[in-house]
């Protein structure tokens, strides 16, 4: 049995003035009701989102919020709040009731945590805070937190030309990221076609999937595409997991671990237009506690995992959101995906 996850057209809302609080609350309640939440649970979502949005408005620098169906569960909601504010030196202290600070998300943080079905905070002093909240419908299990990705369109546009998709089986997770050439509707069309072909052929080896995507994109603007498969630790590869990777163009792929990161080799070209005669596939070892990260060139390659202490141990949603904040540029569409080895 497999699970399919794909990009959802993420909508990031700026939390810069009080009018944003009501808008975000209404968005959250509407999504909760659509996901089968009763009045009481939808109210819990509304209060937590309102409090988090209020803290962004009051204390954050460049605070934004994302409210969406949880990538790993049709019965859950994920809320991501991030900012470039002063950050917090002591998250545990900020979670205490009655604690107040001029730093981001200090007021009411303990109350926010109690209203969620799962939360995580990652904060870097002087650089900002990421808060991820999860709300599940009554009786639904919590999502496993193995994979996540986020997208963001260029500037003020509403359509993102980057896309991702994942297929998870019991022994492996196969993922693709496509960066449609340019931006806007034409780029998004290329990325959607890449995802469609990927989902049809995700059981093949990454190089074979990439070749089929390349052929299918001939009638589109084309783009950069990467396909990776990460196998569970302790499988046929031994104690560590394994990553098989094939890339065409400038989608970046990394194996991140506590000591640093290793780049994966991609072939120059444009899927749909310029490609080698034979598609190459490369094999890599995946540390048991490592993470696979793929991103479009809407993120700079200069992000440094060592400058984000403990980030690689956090959930994929926190990793993806933090890297978007740390390395994302507003001059291009952006997509980043983080994947833990299946267990």
Q: Which of 74, 105, 136 is the last residue of a domain?
A: 136
Which pair of structure tokens corresponds to residue 41?
A: 């649970």
Q: For residue 5, tell me if it sits in a domain.
A: no
287: left (phi over 0), alpha (psi -120 to 50) or beta: beta
Same-domain pairing of 97 and 205: no
Same-domain pairing of 190 and 287: yes
The pLDDT-based confidence of 92 (bands split at 50, 70, 90) is low
DSSP assignment of 235-253, as one string?
A: STT-SSEEEEEEEESS-EE
Q: Which of 136, 164, 181 is the last residue of a domain?
A: 136
Same-domain pairing of 183 and 324: yes
Q: Which of 136, 165, 192 is the last residue of a domain?
A: 136
The pLDDT-based confidence of 106 (bands split at 50, 70, 90) is very low
69: left (phi over 0), alpha (psi -120 to 50) or beta: beta
Cβ-Cβ contacts under 8 Å for 197 (sequence gap 6 or more): 209, 212, 213, 216
Distance CA 320, CA 171 (A): 23
pLDDT of 107 higher than 60: no
Domain that holds residue 212: 147-339
CATH of the domain at 316: 3.60.40.10
Q: For residue 288, tell me if it sits in a domain.
A: yes
Q: For residue 141, tell me if it sits in a domain.
A: no
**pTM score, whole prediction:** 0.92
Same-domain pairing of 251 and 307: yes
Same-domain pairing of 33 and 160: no
Gap between the terminal Cα atoms of the chain: 15
The number of distinct structural domains making up the chain is 2
Q: For residue 78, tell me if it sits in a domain.
A: yes
pLDDT of 96 higher than 60: no
pLDDT tens, residue by residue, 40-56: 999 999 999 999 999 89
Same-domain pairing of 170 and 218: yes
Of the two residues 240 and 61, the one the predictor is more confident about is 61
> For residue 146, which of 126, 119, 127, 173 has the smallest C-alpha distance?
173
Same-domain pairing of 100 and 207: no
Neighbour tally for 332: CB within 10 Å: 19
Same-domain pairing of 130 and 23: yes
Same-domain pairing of 104 and 157: no
Neighbour tally for 21: CB within 10 Å: 20
Which pair of structure tokens corresponds to residue 326?
A: 């740390």
Same-domain pairing of 127 and 191: no
Residue 54 phi, psi (nearest 5): -60, -40
Distances (CA, A) of 156 to 12, 57, 150, 294: 10, 20, 16, 24
pLDDT of 224 higher than 80: yes
Distance CA 335, CA 329 (A): 11
Q: For residue 3, tell me if it sits in a domain.
A: no
Q: Find the length of the chain.
A: 343
**Cβ(269)–Cβ(210) under 8 Å?**
no
Same-domain pairing of 151 and 118: no
The pLDDT-based confidence of 193 (bands split at 50, 70, 90) is very high
Distance CA 311, CA 162 (A): 24
> For residue 210, which of 282, 281, 293, 296 has the smallest C-alpha distance?
281
């Amino acid at each position: 049995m497999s699970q399919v996850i794909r990009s959802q057209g993420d909508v990031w809302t700026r939390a810069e003035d009080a009018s944003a609080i009501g808008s975000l609350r209404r968005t959250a309640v509407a999504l909760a009701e659509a996901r089968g939440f009763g009045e009481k649970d939808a109210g819990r979502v509304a209060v937590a989102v309102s409090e988090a949005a209020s803290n962004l408005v009051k204390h954050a620098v460049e605070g934004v919020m994302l409210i969406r169906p949880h990538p790993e569960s049709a019965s859950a909601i994920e809320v991501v709040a991030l900012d470039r504010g002063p950050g917090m030196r002591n998250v545990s202290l900020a979670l205490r009731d009655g604690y107040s600070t001029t730093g981001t998300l200090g007021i009411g943080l303990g109350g926010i945590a109690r209203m969620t079905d799962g939360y995580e905070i990652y904060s870097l002093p002087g650089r900002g805070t990421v808060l991820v909240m999860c709300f599940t419908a009554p009786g639904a299990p919590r999502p496993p937190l193995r994979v996540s990705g986020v997208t963001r369109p260029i500037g003020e546009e509403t359509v993102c030309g980057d896309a991702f998709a994942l297929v998870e089986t019991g022994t492996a997770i196969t993922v693709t990221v496509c960066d449609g050439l340019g931006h806007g509707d034409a780029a998004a069309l290329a990325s959607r076609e890449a995802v469609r072909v990927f989902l049809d052929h995700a059981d093949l080896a990454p190089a074979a999937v990439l070749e089929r995507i390349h052929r299918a994109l001939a009638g589109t603007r084309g783009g950069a595409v990467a396909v990776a498969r990460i196998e569970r630790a302790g499988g046929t590869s031994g104690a560590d997991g394994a990553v098989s990777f094939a890339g065409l163009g400038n989608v970046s792929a990394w194996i991140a671990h506590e000591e640093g990161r290793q780049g994966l080799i991609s072939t120059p070209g444009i899927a749909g237009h310029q490609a080698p005669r034979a598609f190459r596939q490369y094999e890599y070892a995946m540390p048991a506690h490592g993470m696979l990260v793929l991103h479009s060139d809407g993120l700079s390659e200069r992000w440094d995992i060592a400058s984000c202490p403990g980030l690689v141990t956090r959930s994929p949603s926190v990793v993806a959101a933090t890297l978007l904040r740390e390395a994302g540029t507003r001059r291009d569409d952006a997509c980043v995906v983080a994947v833990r080895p299946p267990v």
